[in-house]
Structure 1
Amino acid sequence: MLPPDNFDPEIGLAETLEPGLRRIVAPNPSPMTYRGTNTYLLGETDVAVIDPGPDSPAHLEAILAAIQPGQRISHIIVTHTHLDHSPLARPLAARTGAEVWAFGEATAGRSAVMQGLAEAGLMGGGEGVDHGFRPDHTLADGDVLKGDGWALEVLHTPGHIGNHVSLAWGDACLTADHVMGWATSLVSPPDGDLTDFMSSCEKLGARQWRVFYPGHGAPVSEPNARLDWLVAHRRAREVSILDALAAGPATAEDLARAIYTETPAALLGAATRNVLAHLVDLTGRGRVAPEGALQAEAHFTLNS
């Protein structure tokens, strides 16, 4: 269901995806960000900059250079507070006078279960989070942001992180890191919550979409099919975890090594965090239990 690895945009160049929407890819490629973060420019007069990206002076100048005569940046919208999406918001605001819109700061939208885990110090998590981020305006599910010639409906889609939003633009949706164009989304507790992630997939899947514009990778041309695949992928991973636990107690890392046999070593840590997210979800549903405290290094067993 994932496309072939042929997404190769020119970094720093504003590319028109359809009338009214352009994309600039930031210069931050990595195993977690693919070619780089997709920054979107929406609008012909009032321009919304969606996910300004990492703290990169070169990317800041690329965004400003893409603003044409007669245009102005009217909104800066951050879909979530990971370091590859939000840090450039404040420098861009300082250069343009535009205000910053987001669901909230780093822990906004975090589920009660994950908040409890974080407060108990059971898991470190928080990798790559922009803890200093503060928006000028907070967004809520169902809000509509408008500029000259465009409107965006805010859809709260926690899972990848609690403050994650997707943005509906008619029958297109800017899905940020909930649905990506090159891989499945990382869900890493306590910021990532698999229970929320699956609910957000269901929420998006309740509508018929024409296209998804993701935070990394190429546009998704069969968006509802991709959502179905993401859910099926997660359910299959759950079965693999339960099957592996049938052989005896294991940690998240043990399970990741047994299940992700073709995953590069550089991504094994992310795979372990994904497995941990499943284990937390399965614990909440009574399918498994940790031996002792619920934490990243715990051994988990099947419940009878």
Structure 2
Amino acid sequence: MAGPPPKPWPTGLVEHPEPLVRRVLAPNPSPYTYTGTQTYLVGDDDRIAVIDPGPDEPDHIAALLSAIGDAEVAAIMCTHTHRDHSPAARSLAEKTGAPIVGCAPLVLDDSGPRADASFDKLYEPDRVLADGEAMTGPGWTLTAVATPGHTSNHLCFALEQSGALFTGDHVMAWSTSVVVPPDGDMSAYMASLEKLYAREDRVYYPAHGPAVERPRQLVRGMIGHRRQRENQIVRLLSENAQSPRELVAVMYKGLDPKLEGAARMSVTAHLIDLERRGMVSRSEDIWQTN
């Protein structure tokens, strides 16, 4: 994971990465959210969609309402329901009258490595988008692209007019996505990466970190990185049976202790995937090759 850029960050300010897209940064920085959650406003001055409204923080809600101005909000669209992405949808819907549209609800006890990634148990969409379904407005169309893996309900949204893809947490330039079992699934995540690699999107706008200007190149590298990790796990287990914690100690030299839990969950996700493919097995928390 890359460190955040030097402050000041543009928290609460409106940025304009391209004509149909505005971006507002929420005040929730952390080792897992980079400088914070980026909420995107898509459309013109008359009718817009809001993507990933973020945490339900009063300052962030106020910044979003200021950015929205007199525009009609056609939809509040969520890529997934981790608490750094969807909770503000409720407050924004109350203030604008807009429907909540996008990913399906998902309520689980997340054993993940960070508190801000637990699921938003109060998320109630007015409409769930299936893969390929779209929301439209004057001069814009946002099409859902199902990308399970980080979470089982994760969606990306493609802006058909410009070739931009809003990738939520699925693909980010500053870090690989954390895949946390039991809902996070490495096999599904890899399949979703392959799905995006087959597309011709011009640019990615993730929920955290900078835009991705060469998306297929980044996705190809991410697939290669995950395959290297997988091969490393198999090689280490072929030498001797180990726990995920022991694997992390070897695989992630010099890792910030704050990130150890995320690394352990990622290794566990790889192990579960390898187990399904018959390549490894376990006895309690000790894994070995078959």
Q: TM-score range by the shorter chain?
A: over 0.9
Pairwise CA distance, 1:149: 1.5
- Select between 241-250 and 6-15 the one with higher mean Cα deviation: 6-15
Match of 2:23, SS state, is: strand
CA distance in 2, matches of 1:20, 1:14: 13
Pairwise CA distance, 1:198: 0.4
Match of 2:205, SS state, is: strand
CA distance in 2, matches of 1:73, 1:25: 18
Specify the alignment match of 1:295 in structure 2: none
Change (3 A) 1:3 1:226: farther
Change (3 A) 1:184 1:7: farther
Contact 1:7–1:218 at 8 Å: present in 2 too? Answer: no
One of 103, 118, 126 as aligned partner of 1:136: 126
Contact 2:3–2:34 at 8 Å: present in 1 too? Answer: no
Pairwise CA distance, 1:128: 1.5
CA distance in 1, matches of 2:52, 2:103: 13
| 1:231-259 Cα shifts (integer Å, max 9, x gaps) | 00100111111121122111111111211
Match of 1:233, SS state, is: helix
| 1:137-161 Cα shifts (integer Å, max 9, x gaps) | 1110010110122101100000000
Specify the alignment match of 1:66 in structure 2: 67
Change (3 A) 1:154 1:7: farther
Contact 1:125–1:191 at 8 Å: present in 2 too? Answer: no
> Which consecutive residues of structure 1, in runs of 5 or more, have no partner in the other structure?
108-117, 293-297
Task: Report the number of matched residues.
Answer: 283
CA distance in 1, matches of 2:212, 2:168: 12
CA RMSD of aligned residues (A): 1.9
Change (3 A) 1:267 1:208: same
Is 1:221 matched with 2:208? no
Match of 1:246, SS state, is: helix
- Structure 1 runs (4+) deviating above 6 angstroms are none
CA distance in 2, matches of 1:262, 1:156: 35
Pairwise CA distance, 1:180: 1.0
Amino acid corresponding to residue 158 of structure 2 in structure 1: A
Match of 1:64, SS state, is: helix
Is 1:54 matched with 2:55? yes
Amino acid corresponding to residue 98 of structure 2 in structure 1: A
CA distance in 2, matches of 1:4, 1:221: 19
CA distance in 1, matches of 2:171, 2:83: 18
Match of 1:300, SS state, is: strand
Specify the alignment match of 1:17 in structure 2: 17
CA distance in 2, matches of 1:7, 1:227: 26
Mapping of residues 268-283 of structure 1, within 5 Å: 268-283=260-275
Contact 2:4–2:34 at 8 Å: present in 1 too? Answer: no
Specify the alignment match of 1:86 in structure 2: 86
Specify the alignment match of 2:138 in structure 1: 148
Specify the alignment match of 2:26 in structure 1: 26
Amino acid corresponding to residue 193 of structure 2 in structure 1: C
Is 1:259 matched with 2:251? yes
Mapping of residues 183-194 of structure 1, within 5 Å: 183-194=175-186
Is 1:302 matched with 2:282? no
Identical pairs, percent:
43
Specify the alignment match of 1:36 in structure 2: 36
Mapping of residues 204-243 of structure 1, within 5 Å: 204-243=196-235
